Amino acid sequence: MATGRSDYPNQVNNVLGFPYIFRGALDVRARTINEEMKIAAAHALAELARSDVPDEVAAAYSGRKYKFGPQYIIPAPFDPRLMEFVPPRVAQAAMDSGVARKPIEDMAAYRRQVSNRLNPTVGLLGEMYDMLTSHDKRVIFAEAEEDRMLRAAVGFKSGGYGTPILIGYEDVVAKKLHDLGADPDEFEIHSARTSTKNEAYTDWLYKRLQRIGYLKRDAQRLVNRDRNVFSACMLANGDADAMVTGLTRNYYQAVENIQLVIDPKAHMQPFGLTIVMSRERTVFIADTVMNERPTGEELADIAQNAAAAVRHLGHKPSVALLSFSNFGQPMREKADHVREAVGILEQRDVDFEFEGDMAPDTALNPDLLKLYPFARLSGPANVLVMPALHSANISTKLVGALGGAKVIGPILWGFERSVQIVRMGSHTSDVLNMAALAAVGSIDRT
């Protein structure tokens, strides 16, 4: 039952209807709001109520978990998906009923546009998700017994982004899928302990590790007991295209698991790229994972590889190599490797603009940049190469904790196979985004 009271479940709240109906009507310049448009909004809300409820809704309601049923037949007002669901349905109904004066030609693009008004990540990630619908990539969800990862896998499949491969005890995963309203028979589930692939994976891993101190029983124990190692073996042997993990263990422990099985690309040092998105700009920060104290040459490599990664994501890279100093003022030994990296990039004749050593405010503020007319940047930088891992890691985590911007990543680059690792506290939407990034990363590898 639904009421108008806020102290009972299923409150009928105007905020769920009027703003989104008006948005859809205005965007097609509708002459009126008719019954067809209202019914379309009601159907959109009903569909949204039946879908899996994201973690952001629980966070807005003191951690309470919602699931379709007697206590939840109407979406929560803070559901971030309302803008994506309701206005497009209203706009389509206006077009179908003949009251739209400015029809929308590309409804998928419109859906991304309205979502982007509230969520700046949609613009960057929308094209990525669209790309995946034409590539059926097999993505391993290595911790499928975890609710957040399993919900992400269900969303990955229902969105048509690829084929999820679930790693966990079959009976546990199947029950959780059933509780989510999904059919377990539609999913591929593997248990690391009982898989028919175990013997082949053990032999393969033993050949890889036997000369660095591992016995065959060590390799067998890793394959049987460690889901990350089992999943990485599946990936390395071509039984999947990509992999996402990280909810149940420390990030660097997960990286070590992966490195046992998967090598870096030839002549490339893996690194982490973190995306920071606000309404005003998108900035990419490197290296946020791998290289603790990079030398000048390593810093130049990071800059060059980060620029290539940013270009792969659809942006034109403009690279700033950061320091506490601006072009040698103050001159300190701690910034020598940054200046060395700039010199190396000059010698390499790279195909992107770069500058350094420079402070972050100079790199991002065009007015401050004008104080240095010799600088090679044509505008604010969008790729920030940090002088060391501690500064990169601290800065991105600080932005994420303070709010005001969306932080995605770190995204791993530089391994032979496409693997992404999420942080332990990540939401379902974070896992889904990283699974999609892993799938996109595998497209160029096939």
Sequence-distant (6+) residues with CB within 8 A of 323 are 334, 335, 338, 356, 357, 358, 359, 387
Maximum C-alpha span of the chain? 75
- Compute the distance between CA of residue 27 and CA of residue 429 in angstroms, rounded to an integer: 27
**Rounded to 5 degrees, what are φ and ψ at 415?**
-95, 155
Sequence-distant (6+) residues with CB within 8 A of 50 are 68, 181
pLDDT at 59 exceeding the cut of 70: no
* Overall domain count for the chain: 3
Sequence-distant (6+) residues with CB within 8 A of 150 are 141, 144, 166, 173, 176, 177, 180
Tally helices (H) and strands (E) across the chain: 18, 11
Residues 291 and 392 reside in one and the same domain: yes
Residues 243 and 282 reside in one and the same domain: no
pLDDT band at 49 (very low <50, low <70, confident <90, very high): confident
DSSP summary character for residue 134:
T
Q: What letters, b where the CB count within 10 A reaches 16 and e where it falls short, cover 177-201?
A: beebebebeebebbbbeebebbeeb
Pairing of strands 282-286, 271-277: antiparallel
Tell me whether residue 424 is in a domain: no
- Compute the distance between CA of residue 261 and CA of residue 294 in angstroms, rounded to an integer: 24
Tell me whether residue 43 is in a domain: yes
Looking at residue 401, its pLDDT comes to: 81
Residues 80 and 199 reside in one and the same domain: no
- For the segment 164-179, what is each residue's pLDDT rounded down to a tens digit? 999 999 999 999 998 8
Cβ 198 vs Cβ 221: under 8 Å: no
Residues 375 and 277 reside in one and the same domain: yes
End of a domain among 234, 260, 286? 260
Cβ 95 vs Cβ 34: under 8 Å: no
Looking at residue 354, its pLDDT comes to: 94
**272 burial via Cβ count (<10 Å: 0-12, 13-18, 19+):** buried
End of a domain among 230, 260, 290? 260
Sequence-distant (6+) residues with CB within 8 A of 321 are 299, 303, 338, 341, 342, 354, 355, 356, 357, 358, 385, 387
Query: Which CATH number goes with the domain that contains 77?
Result: 3.40.50.720
Tell me whether residue 346 is in a domain: yes
pLDDT band at 6 (very low <50, low <70, confident <90, very high): low
Angle 357-311-360 from CA coordinates, rounded to 5°? 25
Tell me whether residue 159 is in a domain: yes
Residues 368 and 313 reside in one and the same domain: yes
pLDDT band at 57 (very low <50, low <70, confident <90, very high): low
Looking at residue 294, its pLDDT comes to: 92
pTM comes to 0.75
pLDDT band at 445 (very low <50, low <70, confident <90, very high): very low
Q: Name which of 115, 114, 123 is nearest 26 in CA terms.
A: 114
What is the number of other CB atoms lying within 10 angstroms of the CB of residue 424?
A: 11
Residues 241 and 276 reside in one and the same domain: no
Residues 292 and 409 reside in one and the same domain: yes
Tell me whether residue 185 is in a domain: yes
Sequence-distant (6+) residues with CB within 8 A of 33 are 21, 22, 25
Question: Can you give the residue range of the structural domain that contains 22?
Answer: 12-118
Tell me whether residue 320 is in a domain: yes
**Rounded to 5 degrees, what are φ and ψ at 291?**
-100, 110
- Compute the distance between CA of residue 367 and CA of residue 2 in angstroms, rounded to an integer: 55
Q: Name which of 410, 414, 388 is nearest 268 in CA terms.
A: 414
- Return the residue matching tokens 């693009």: 109
- Compute the distance between CA of residue 270 and CA of residue 389 in angstroms, rounded to an integer: 13
- Compute the distance between CA of residue 286 and CA of residue 303 in angstroms, rounded to an integer: 8
Tell me whether residue 427 is in a domain: no
- Compute the distance between CA of residue 85 and CA of residue 11 in angstroms, rounded to an integer: 19
Looking at residue 243, its pLDDT comes to: 96
Residues 336 and 376 reside in one and the same domain: yes
Looking at residue 5, its pLDDT comes to: 62
Residues 277 and 409 reside in one and the same domain: yes
Q: Name which of 319, 297, 299, 298 is nearest 308 in CA terms.
A: 319
Looking at residue 356, its pLDDT comes to: 77
Query: Which CATH number goes with the domain that contains 180?
Result: 3.40.50.10950
Cβ 329 vs Cβ 291: under 8 Å: no
Mean pLDDT (the chain, rounded): 86
Sequence-distant (6+) residues with CB within 8 A of 290 are 255, 269, 270, 271, 272, 389, 414
Between 18-22, 35-39, 332-336, the lowest mean confidence (pLDDT) is in 332-336
Query: Which CATH number goes with the domain that contains 287?
Result: 3.40.50.10750
Residues 186 and 140 reside in one and the same domain: yes
- For the segment 73-131, what is each residue's pLDDT rounded down to a tens digit? 777 666 767 877 889 999 999 999 999 999 998 887 787 777 666 555 555 666 677 77
Residues 235 and 327 reside in one and the same domain: no
Question: Which tokens belong to 347?
Answer: 């010698």
- For the segment 316-364, what is each residue's pLDDT rounded down to a tens digit? 999 999 998 888 777 776 778 998 999 999 999 899 999 978 899 999 9
Sequence-distant (6+) residues with CB within 8 A of 361 are 368
Tell me whether residue 441 is in a domain: no
pLDDT band at 435 (very low <50, low <70, confident <90, very high): very high
- For the segment 220-274, what is each residue's pLDDT rounded down to a tens digit? 999 999 999 999 999 999 999 999 999 999 999 999 999 999 999 988 889 999 9
Residues 290 and 371 reside in one and the same domain: yes
pLDDT at 443 exceeding the cut of 50: yes
Pairing of strands 271-277, 406-413: antiparallel
End of a domain among 118, 144, 168? 118
